[in-house]
Structure 1
Amino acid sequence: MKKIVFTLFTVIILFSCNNNGNPNSNTELIGNWKLIEVLADPGGGSGTFSSVESEKTITFKSGGTIPSNGTLCTMSINSDNQTSGTYSSAESTFNSSDCNNTDYNFTFEQNASILIINYPYIEPCKAKYIKE
């Protein structure tokens, strides 16, 4: 009887374990991302994302760098100002010496093939990218 209880307990423990790793791993983050929408909230949380026509891209590289064909420092949709920075996938942040405040850490959120970068304004301002 003790062997049955022990075996049953062991099986329950093994099947109840799961992988609590980050589902948005660094491997998924690495690659090219294209700007598709921006959000500039006018106040009161009423803002929504709006589609944009832009060639702006950012690339998360495995060595921790993040080059872009546009500025990383603002929500600009232009793709005529190359900038770069470094990122931390563990902290979901990046910074760039090309920005006015070189010490500021921009935050980002990744959910599968969608990446949202948060910009430091009074009201929420965000840029949404899709994985290419």
Structure 2
Amino acid sequence: MKKIVFTLITAGLLLSCNNDDDSNLDTDLIGKWQLIEVLSDPGDGSGTFSSVESDKTITFRNGGIIVSNGSLCDMGITSDRPTFGTYSSSESTFNSTDCNNSEYDFEFEKNGNILIIKYPCIEPCQAKYKRI
């Protein structure tokens, strides 16, 4: 009887452990996001987000896969070439072999139904997406 109780307790502890790697993805991130605004700062810190009309989307999938119907590598608004990459929800970054520097980690931040991707520019440049 002691062996059964010990086995059940051990199994319960093992199953309740939290593993913080990307196999436990942020389920709020998984899904499709539509480009709605871009920010390009002119160099004096006065830049603001501007609305765009675009069909560009990005989709975060289980398993750390990110796909887009446009370039993941820049904040362009066109949706004429599919690109793929990988992401880390714990690091809030993604990269793509489609980019010139496939090792570069693009940063993103999610706040509710808004996702902002930061691109490597001298002045701030970002793209804002909304969950669809």
TM-score exceeds 0.5: yes
- Which residue of the partner structure matches residue 20 of structure 1? none
Q: Does residue 32 of structure 2 align to residue 35 of structure 1? A: no
- Which residue of the partner structure matches residue 65 of structure 2? 65
Secondary structure at 1:28 match in 2: coil
Mark the runs of 5 or more structure 2 residues left unpaired by the alignment.
Answer: 1-24
Q: Quote the Cα distance in structure 2 between the aligned partners of 1:37 and 1:122.
A: 19
Q: Based on CA coordinates, which of the two structures has the bigger radius of gyration?
A: 1
Q: Quote the Cα distance in structure 1 between the aligned partners of 2:80 and 2:105.
A: 23
Secondary structure at 2:67 match in 1: strand
- Which residue of the partner structure matches residue 102 of structure 1? 102
- Which residue of the partner structure matches residue 51 of structure 2? 51
- Which residue of the partner structure matches residue 114 of structure 1? 114
Matched AA of 1:50: S
- Which residue of the partner structure matches residue 81 of structure 1? 81
Tell me the CA shift for residue 113 of structure 1.
0.1
Percent identity over paired residues: 69
Tell me the CA shift for residue 79 of structure 1.
0.3
Deviant stretches of 4+, over 4 Å: none
Mark the runs of 5 or more structure 1 residues left unpaired by the alignment.
Answer: 1-24
Tell me the CA shift for residue 63 of structure 1.
1.0
- Which residue of the partner structure matches residue 16 of structure 1? none
Tell me the CA shift for residue 45 of structure 1.
1.1
Secondary structure at 2:123 match in 1: coil
Secondary structure at 2:27 match in 1: helix
Q: Quote the Cα distance in structure 2 between the aligned partners of 1:117 and 1:43.
A: 19
Tell me the CA shift for residue 44 of structure 1.
1.9
Matched AA of 2:44: G
Matched AA of 1:64: G
Aligned length: 108
Q: Quote the Cα distance in structure 2 between the aligned partners of 1:64 and 1:47.
A: 32
Tell me the CA shift for residue 56 of structure 1.
0.2
Q: TM-score, normalised by structure 2?
A: 0.81
Q: Quote the Cα distance in structure 2 between the aligned partners of 1:27 and 1:112.
A: 12
Q: TM-score, normalised by structure 1?
A: 0.81
